[in-house]
A and B are shown apart, each in its own frame.
Chain A
């Protein structure tokens, strides 16, 4: 098993900072390609599957240099200038990023890994061509403030578990239990972590998306059928899709209320994802999330998915999960020791 997830990365998961290790420069692409209507190089047309649909197939990574939320001090500026971006890239390459998100870019994985050990040479890294100051689009560039009812709801959930964190497996976080890992949650936001590959396979009427992390697979119908019955609540909701021109639009509802969903949202979370192939090496992934019980308004982000090499490894989390028993066993041993001390 590759249970390399660490609880401390939970906080980082929202910081979404990771270098993009592209094999070479992304052809024909500039920052402006993700500003308005994405266009690729001259003469480039959307590749098609044999049945004529836009071809999204391949192995993709959502690793990016851009944080989800814009750092304070950048103001309402949505894009870095070329000069600013070059300076940012230089500092990241040299590992000179200071505090997390200090310059609005990645604190490299050296936090937990020796990058050279994994063959990642920062000085040779190429960065995403996205010069956005945040993945969230618009002048604010941050997640809208949470509604009071959502703050209360999430506080109650947290309070319920307080003091019982080590009582039993159901008190442990879902990712530790291999039920739902941070990176497999929807929408697909890059996280400061590994195994963030996504393999897309298309059959007639369906698009399948395999996340390397926890082998989570979504097989999405593209016939615009209705969602499954509202009584069916799922960890990853229910995704149905349709083609709008060259864009695959995926609508997801039916999330469960058994966990706090994306960024503190509840079971009313409504997610719309858009996948548009904008060059041979890039899919523009845009998502809009809405939850009237969590945010006053919907918000939108966009992330370039960059073509990468396989293979996608089997990420068998549960099968090798010794962590959960070790944590619980450790807690029982500590309790026994405490009881012995008291008895003395």
Chain B
């Protein structure tokens, strides 16, 4: 056998083996994948990430639907989605279920996203905009493109919220390769999606970010709110790295896009 042949076979075997390995770790949630470490020795979640699903339209499975403004045709129609809720059921208490229906019926009037309000957690994660994790030792910052929302996660001994807020109070810790964030003290103004899914100020969210491969994270959020739900429930989805070489968060200061809706009726009337 010529020398060049055996060499190329060897190289091919090596390449195929590598590709298989890479493919295995990226696809299934192989527990064998070990995330690269930061200089500080923690799993490295730094990067710009984005969900690629329709959870922001409706956490539950949904068929495609017409958009809120008929004259806009297909452009703002609701894309269909398989849903991200475990078991596809959100366990509303009876009264809360009625409120959810009302919310959904008039979501354009009521959804805080329409008004460019801060999105709360977990919705910030799966809004159709990227977000960036800037990971340090004692804190991890998550900066969201939408409305310039931001959270600083405390990675030291847990602290208590000084006050309730739109984005809540985040204490994090590592469980193996998983970043676990406990979020409390969110106000009752935010929603989960455009389908009117909502919560109260008793909301408690536990998020889990687990690297699945170099460019994929698994995101899970367990949602607990005894005023609204009969039991805790869970959503899960992959998050994808924005791999563009020049990936950046840009300004999406949406206040100016919501002003006409909020203040337009107070404009000076012609002739006055």
Contact = CB atoms under 8 A, between A and B. Distances in A.
Interface of A: 49-52, 57, 166-170, 177-180, 199, 201-206, 208, 210, 214-217, 219, 221, 225, 228, 232, 234-236, 311-314, 316, 318-319, 324-325, 328-329, 331-332, 335-336, 339
Nearest to B42: A50
B267 A328 contact: yes
A314 B268 contact: no
Given A210-B152, A225-B246, A168 B268 contact: yes
Nearest to A315: B165
A50 B40 contact: yes
A328 B150 CA distance: 30
Given A201-B134, A204-B39, A319-B189, A166 B46 contact: no
Interface in B228-272: 246, 248-251, 253, 255-256, 259-260, 262-264, 266-269, 272
Contact of B248 (A166, A168, A221): A221
B2 to A, nearest CB: 45
B3 to A, nearest CB: 43
Contact of B143 (A219, A225, A232, A328): A219
Contacts of A219: 132, 134, 143, 248-249
Contacts of B255: 177-179, 318
A151 B256 CA distance: 27
Given A177-B259, A210-B152, A225-B246, A325 B38 contact: no
Contacts of B189: 319
Interface residues on B, range: 35 or more
Interface of B: 38-41, 44, 46, 116-118, 132-141, 143, 148-150, 152, 159, 162-163, 165-167, 189, 246, 248-251, 253, 255-256, 259-260, 262-264, 266-269, 272
5 shortest A-B CB distances, which residue pairs? A328-B266, A50-B39, A51-B39, A203-B134, A314-B165
A118 to B, nearest CB: 15
Contacts of B134: 201-203, 206, 208, 219
A199 B46 contact: no
Contacts of B251: 234-236
Contacts of A52: 39
A234 B41 CA distance: 36
B249 A169 contact: no
A328 to B, nearest CB: 4
A215 B159 CA distance: 20
26 contacts: A50-B41, A51-B38, A51-B39, A168-B264, A168-B266, A169-B260, A169-B266, A177-B259, A179-B256, A201-B141, A202-B134, A203-B135, A203-B136, A210-B150, A210-B152, A217-B141, A219-B249, A221-B248, A228-B250, A316-B118, A318-B117, A319-B117, A319-B189, A325-B263, A328-B263, A332-B266
A318 B132 CA distance: 22
Contacts of B132: 206, 208, 219
B152 A313 contact: no
B50 to A, nearest CB: 15
A312 B161 CA distance: 11
A169 B249 CA distance: 27
A168 B263 contact: yes
The listed residue with most B CB atoms (<10 A of its CB), out of A202, A206, A221, is A206
Given A50-B137, A168-B266, A225-B246, 12 more contacts: A51-B38, A168-B267, A201-B152, A219-B132, A219-B143, A312-B152, A316-B118, A318-B116, A318-B117, A325-B263, A332-B269, A335-B272
A314 B167 contact: yes
A300 B117 CA distance: 37
B263 A201 contact: no
The listed residue with most A CB atoms (<10 A of its CB), out of B143, B149, B159, is B143
Contacts of A199: 152
B214 to A, nearest CB: 15
B35 to A, nearest CB: 14
A203 B162 CA distance: 26
A15 B107 CA distance: 46
